[in-house]
Amino acid sequence: MALWGNNDNVGSAGTVILDYSTGVVTGAGTSFGIAGGCSEGDIIRFGSRGSGGTYFGDAVIVSIASSESLTIGSTAGLSGAAISAANFFVSQLPKSSVLNTTFDRARRSAPSQVTLTTTADATGVAGIGSDIIPVAASDIVNALGNDALVNDSNSIKIASVTATQISLASTISAGISTGDTLTFKRTQGGYDSLNYAIGGGESDKQSGTSFESGVGWVGVTTYIDNSGTVRVKKEILVAMSGISTGTHEGGILYPTNE
Protein backbone atom coordinates (compact mmCIF):
# COMPACT_ATOMS: atom_id res chain seq x y z
CA MET A 1 0.00 0.00 0.00
CA ALA A 2 1.63 3.24 -1.17
CA LEU A 3 2.07 6.07 1.28
CA TRP A 4 0.58 8.53 -1.23
CA GLY A 5 -0.50 8.87 -4.85
CA ASN A 6 -0.95 11.68 -7.35
CA ASN A 7 -4.74 11.85 -7.63
CA ASP A 8 -6.86 14.38 -5.74
CA ASN A 9 -9.82 13.76 -8.02
CA VAL A 10 -11.00 10.22 -7.25
CA GLY A 11 -14.67 9.49 -8.05
CA SER A 12 -16.81 10.60 -5.11
CA ALA A 13 -20.47 10.35 -6.10
CA GLY A 14 -23.19 9.87 -3.52
CA THR A 15 -23.45 10.58 0.21
CA VAL A 16 -22.24 8.74 3.32
CA ILE A 17 -23.07 7.94 6.94
CA LEU A 18 -20.33 7.13 9.46
CA ASP A 19 -20.68 4.87 12.50
CA TYR A 20 -18.01 6.28 14.82
CA SER A 21 -18.03 3.19 17.04
CA THR A 22 -17.18 0.72 14.25
CA GLY A 23 -15.55 2.96 11.64
CA VAL A 24 -17.98 1.64 9.02
CA VAL A 25 -18.99 4.10 6.31
CA THR A 26 -22.30 3.34 4.59
CA GLY A 27 -22.85 5.00 1.25
CA ALA A 28 -25.88 5.89 -0.84
CA GLY A 29 -25.31 6.08 -4.59
CA THR A 30 -21.57 5.47 -4.06
CA SER A 31 -19.07 3.43 -6.09
CA PHE A 32 -16.57 2.23 -3.47
CA GLY A 33 -14.02 -0.14 -4.99
CA ILE A 34 -15.40 0.19 -8.51
CA ALA A 35 -13.16 1.44 -11.33
CA GLY A 36 -12.81 5.19 -10.97
CA GLY A 37 -13.93 5.08 -7.34
CA CYS A 38 -11.95 4.84 -4.12
CA SER A 39 -9.56 2.05 -3.20
CA GLU A 40 -8.05 0.75 0.03
CA GLY A 41 -5.36 3.18 1.19
CA ASP A 42 -7.08 6.27 -0.22
CA ILE A 43 -8.15 9.14 2.04
CA ILE A 44 -11.84 9.88 2.45
CA ARG A 45 -12.53 13.53 3.29
CA PHE A 46 -15.95 13.98 4.86
CA GLY A 47 -18.04 17.07 4.14
CA SER A 48 -18.12 19.78 1.52
CA ARG A 49 -16.18 22.93 0.66
CA GLY A 50 -19.32 24.58 -0.74
CA SER A 51 -20.96 27.69 0.68
CA GLY A 52 -22.40 26.83 4.08
CA GLY A 53 -20.97 23.31 3.90
CA THR A 54 -19.32 21.53 6.82
CA TYR A 55 -15.94 19.84 6.64
CA PHE A 56 -15.61 16.97 9.14
CA GLY A 57 -12.02 15.82 8.51
CA ASP A 58 -10.07 12.97 6.93
CA ALA A 59 -9.61 9.21 7.43
CA VAL A 60 -7.73 6.37 5.72
CA ILE A 61 -9.81 3.70 3.99
CA VAL A 62 -8.57 0.30 5.25
CA SER A 63 -11.11 -2.05 3.65
CA ILE A 64 -13.99 -2.03 1.17
CA ALA A 65 -16.85 -4.52 1.58
CA SER A 66 -19.03 -3.34 -1.29
CA SER A 67 -19.81 -0.35 -3.48
CA GLU A 68 -21.76 1.10 -0.56
CA SER A 69 -19.74 -0.02 2.46
CA LEU A 70 -16.17 0.61 3.58
CA THR A 71 -14.22 0.86 6.83
CA ILE A 72 -11.83 3.58 7.96
CA GLY A 73 -8.76 2.94 10.11
CA SER A 74 -9.29 5.68 12.68
CA THR A 75 -11.62 8.53 13.56
CA ALA A 76 -8.79 10.57 15.13
CA GLY A 77 -8.64 12.92 12.14
CA LEU A 78 -12.36 13.76 12.35
CA SER A 79 -14.13 16.54 14.22
CA GLY A 80 -16.42 14.19 16.16
CA ALA A 81 -19.59 15.74 14.76
CA ALA A 82 -22.25 13.37 13.43
CA ILE A 83 -21.78 12.45 9.76
CA SER A 84 -25.08 11.55 8.15
CA ALA A 85 -26.11 11.89 4.49
CA ALA A 86 -22.93 13.92 4.07
CA ASN A 87 -21.00 14.71 0.93
CA PHE A 88 -17.48 13.34 0.68
CA PHE A 89 -14.51 13.34 -1.63
CA VAL A 90 -11.55 11.02 -2.00
CA SER A 91 -7.87 11.84 -2.35
CA GLN A 92 -4.52 10.08 -2.50
CA LEU A 93 -2.79 12.63 -0.27
CA PRO A 94 -0.12 11.32 2.16
CA LYS A 95 -1.63 9.05 4.82
CA SER A 96 0.52 10.64 7.50
CA SER A 97 -1.36 13.91 6.99
CA VAL A 98 -4.53 12.47 8.51
CA LEU A 99 -3.03 12.46 12.00
CA ASN A 100 -0.85 15.53 11.51
CA THR A 101 -2.65 18.11 13.65
CA THR A 102 -0.53 20.90 12.16
CA PHE A 103 -2.86 20.84 9.16
CA ASP A 104 -6.12 19.93 10.85
CA ARG A 105 -9.11 21.82 9.45
CA ALA A 106 -11.12 20.93 12.55
CA ARG A 107 -8.98 23.43 14.48
CA ARG A 108 -9.86 26.36 12.23
CA SER A 109 -11.21 29.55 13.77
CA ALA A 110 -12.95 32.52 12.22
CA PRO A 111 -11.37 35.99 12.20
CA SER A 112 -12.94 38.71 14.31
CA GLN A 113 -13.25 42.48 14.03
CA VAL A 114 -11.80 44.77 16.67
CA THR A 115 -12.22 48.54 16.98
CA LEU A 116 -9.06 50.49 16.23
CA THR A 117 -7.78 52.76 18.95
CA THR A 118 -7.37 55.61 16.46
CA THR A 119 -10.09 57.60 14.73
CA ALA A 120 -10.18 60.29 12.07
CA ASP A 121 -12.20 63.48 11.45
CA ALA A 122 -14.11 64.04 8.22
CA THR A 123 -12.86 67.09 6.30
CA GLY A 124 -16.03 67.40 4.23
CA VAL A 125 -19.58 66.18 3.76
CA ALA A 126 -20.53 62.68 2.57
CA GLY A 127 -24.23 62.15 2.03
CA ILE A 128 -26.26 58.96 2.31
CA GLY A 129 -25.42 56.69 -0.62
CA SER A 130 -21.87 58.02 -0.97
CA ASP A 131 -18.85 55.71 -1.12
CA ILE A 132 -16.26 58.52 -0.87
CA ILE A 133 -15.39 60.05 2.52
CA PRO A 134 -13.29 63.27 2.58
CA VAL A 135 -10.64 62.85 5.29
CA ALA A 136 -7.01 63.77 5.91
CA ALA A 137 -4.97 60.65 5.21
CA SER A 138 -2.52 61.65 7.93
CA ASP A 139 -5.30 60.86 10.43
CA ILE A 140 -5.60 57.26 9.20
CA VAL A 141 -3.44 54.44 10.49
CA ASN A 142 -3.13 51.66 7.89
CA ALA A 143 -6.79 51.98 6.90
CA LEU A 144 -6.48 49.40 4.16
CA GLY A 145 -6.87 45.69 3.52
CA ASN A 146 -9.34 44.21 5.99
CA ASP A 147 -10.16 47.51 7.73
CA ALA A 148 -13.70 48.87 7.68
CA LEU A 149 -15.48 52.15 8.44
CA VAL A 150 -18.20 51.95 11.09
CA ASN A 151 -21.30 53.72 9.75
CA ASP A 152 -24.84 53.41 11.09
CA SER A 153 -23.78 50.25 13.00
CA ASN A 154 -22.48 48.72 9.74
CA SER A 155 -18.87 47.83 8.97
CA ILE A 156 -18.08 48.94 5.41
CA LYS A 157 -14.85 47.65 3.93
CA ILE A 158 -12.29 50.24 2.83
CA ALA A 159 -11.33 49.88 -0.83
CA SER A 160 -8.52 52.46 -1.01
CA VAL A 161 -7.07 55.56 0.65
CA THR A 162 -5.59 58.68 -0.96
CA ALA A 163 -4.17 61.85 0.59
CA THR A 164 -7.64 63.40 0.80
CA GLN A 165 -10.25 60.67 0.92
CA ILE A 166 -11.29 57.11 1.72
CA SER A 167 -13.02 55.03 -0.95
CA LEU A 168 -15.43 52.38 0.34
CA ALA A 169 -16.46 49.05 -1.15
CA SER A 170 -20.14 49.98 -0.66
CA THR A 171 -22.18 53.07 0.18
CA ILE A 172 -22.95 54.60 3.56
CA SER A 173 -26.46 54.63 5.06
CA ALA A 174 -25.84 57.49 7.50
CA GLY A 175 -24.59 60.88 6.31
CA ILE A 176 -21.24 62.28 7.50
CA SER A 177 -20.67 65.97 8.24
CA THR A 178 -17.45 67.97 8.33
CA GLY A 179 -15.65 67.36 11.61
CA ASP A 180 -17.51 64.15 12.42
CA THR A 181 -15.36 61.56 14.19
CA LEU A 182 -14.97 58.39 12.16
CA THR A 183 -14.35 54.99 13.74
CA PHE A 184 -12.68 52.05 12.05
CA LYS A 185 -12.63 48.32 12.69
CA ARG A 186 -9.91 45.88 11.73
CA THR A 187 -10.25 42.17 11.04
CA GLN A 188 -7.59 40.08 12.70
CA GLY A 189 -6.98 36.62 14.04
CA GLY A 190 -8.57 33.56 12.50
CA TYR A 191 -6.76 30.41 11.51
CA ASP A 192 -7.16 27.90 8.73
CA SER A 193 -4.85 24.99 7.98
CA LEU A 194 -5.28 22.18 5.46
CA ASN A 195 -3.45 19.86 3.09
CA TYR A 196 -3.85 20.66 -0.60
CA ALA A 197 -2.98 19.12 -3.93
CA ILE A 198 -1.23 21.87 -5.87
CA GLY A 199 -0.56 21.19 -9.53
CA GLY A 200 1.29 23.29 -12.07
CA GLY A 201 -1.87 25.19 -13.03
CA GLU A 202 -2.65 26.23 -9.46
CA SER A 203 0.97 27.17 -8.84
CA ASP A 204 1.15 29.30 -12.00
CA LYS A 205 -2.09 31.15 -11.16
CA GLN A 206 -0.73 32.17 -7.75
CA SER A 207 2.71 33.20 -8.99
CA GLY A 208 3.80 36.47 -7.40
CA THR A 209 1.12 36.33 -4.69
CA SER A 210 1.32 35.28 -1.05
CA PHE A 211 -0.25 31.96 -2.08
CA GLU A 212 2.59 31.08 -4.46
CA SER A 213 3.80 27.54 -3.81
CA GLY A 214 5.69 24.63 -5.29
CA VAL A 215 3.72 21.69 -6.70
CA GLY A 216 2.80 18.51 -4.86
CA TRP A 217 1.05 17.78 -1.59
CA VAL A 218 1.34 20.97 0.45
CA GLY A 219 0.22 21.90 3.95
CA VAL A 220 -1.02 25.50 3.98
CA THR A 221 -1.82 27.69 7.00
CA THR A 222 -3.49 31.08 6.61
CA TYR A 223 -4.32 33.69 9.22
CA ILE A 224 -4.78 37.45 9.61
CA ASP A 225 -2.17 39.20 11.72
CA ASN A 226 -2.77 42.16 14.05
CA SER A 227 -2.15 44.66 11.23
CA GLY A 228 -4.95 43.14 9.14
CA THR A 229 -2.56 41.45 6.68
CA VAL A 230 -3.31 37.93 5.42
CA ARG A 231 -0.35 35.64 6.13
CA VAL A 232 0.21 32.36 4.32
CA LYS A 233 2.64 29.66 5.45
CA LYS A 234 3.33 26.62 3.27
CA GLU A 235 5.07 23.31 3.92
CA ILE A 236 5.63 20.95 0.99
CA LEU A 237 4.91 17.46 2.34
CA VAL A 238 5.63 15.68 -0.96
CA ALA A 239 7.12 17.50 -3.95
CA MET A 240 5.82 15.94 -7.16
CA SER A 241 4.69 16.90 -10.63
CA GLY A 242 1.79 15.45 -12.58
CA ILE A 243 -0.63 15.69 -9.68
CA SER A 244 -4.32 15.55 -10.61
CA THR A 245 -6.12 18.25 -8.65
CA GLY A 246 -9.72 18.16 -7.47
CA THR A 247 -12.37 19.37 -9.89
CA HIS A 248 -15.29 17.28 -8.65
CA GLU A 249 -18.13 18.66 -6.52
CA GLY A 250 -16.97 19.05 -2.94
CA GLY A 251 -13.24 18.87 -3.72
CA ILE A 252 -10.93 21.35 -2.07
CA LEU A 253 -9.25 23.56 -4.65
CA TYR A 254 -6.25 25.77 -3.90
CA PRO A 255 -6.59 28.37 -2.63
CA THR A 256 -10.06 27.73 -1.26
CA ASN A 257 -12.42 30.67 -0.73
CA GLU A 258 -14.12 28.98 2.17
pLDDT in tens, 14-24: 999 999 999 99
Domain identity same for 22 and 103: yes
**Do residue 70 and residue 160 come from a single domain?**
no
Does residue 20 belong to any structural domain of this protein? yes
- The more confident residue out of 123 and 106 is 123
Please identify, among 159, 179, 199, the residue that sits at the C-terminal boundary of a domain. Answer: 179
Decide: 247 and 213 in contact? Cβ < 8 Å: no
Q: Is residue 245 part of a domain?
A: no
* Triad 150, 171, 139: Cα angle to 5°: 45
Q: Read off φ and ψ for residue 200, nearest 5 degrees.
A: -60, -35
Which carries the bigger pLDDT value, residue 163 or residue 77? 77
47 within some domain: yes
Residues 83, 41 share a domain: yes
Q: From 133, 153, 179, give the residue that closes a domain.
A: 179
**DSSP of 212-249, one letter per residue?**
---SEEEEEEEEE-TTS-EEEEEEEEEE-SS-B---ST
Domain count of the chain?
2
CA distance 124 to 94: 58
Whether residues 90 and 172 share a domain: the answer is: no
DSSP letter string, 130-173: --EEEB-GGG-SS--TTEEEEETTEEEEEEEE-SSEEEESS--S
* 93 vs 191, higher pLDDT: 93
**Strands, DSSP E only, in 67-146?**
69-72, 88-91, 112-121, 132-134
Domain presence at residue 80: yes
What does pTM read for this prediction? Answer: 0.62
Condensed to tens digits (0 to 9), the pLDDT of residues 223-245 reads 777 666 778 888 888 888 777 76
Enclosing domain of residue 135: 123-179
At 71, which amino acid appears?
T
Q: Is residue 134 part of a domain?
A: yes
The answer to whether residues 213 and 167 belong to one domain is no
The answer on 214 and 174 residing in a single domain is no
Task: For 19-61, write each residue's pLDDT tens digit.
Answer: 999 999 999 999 999 988 899 999 998 986 544 567 888 899 9
Residues 41 and 148 in one domain: no
Is-contact 27 68, C-beta < 8 A?
yes
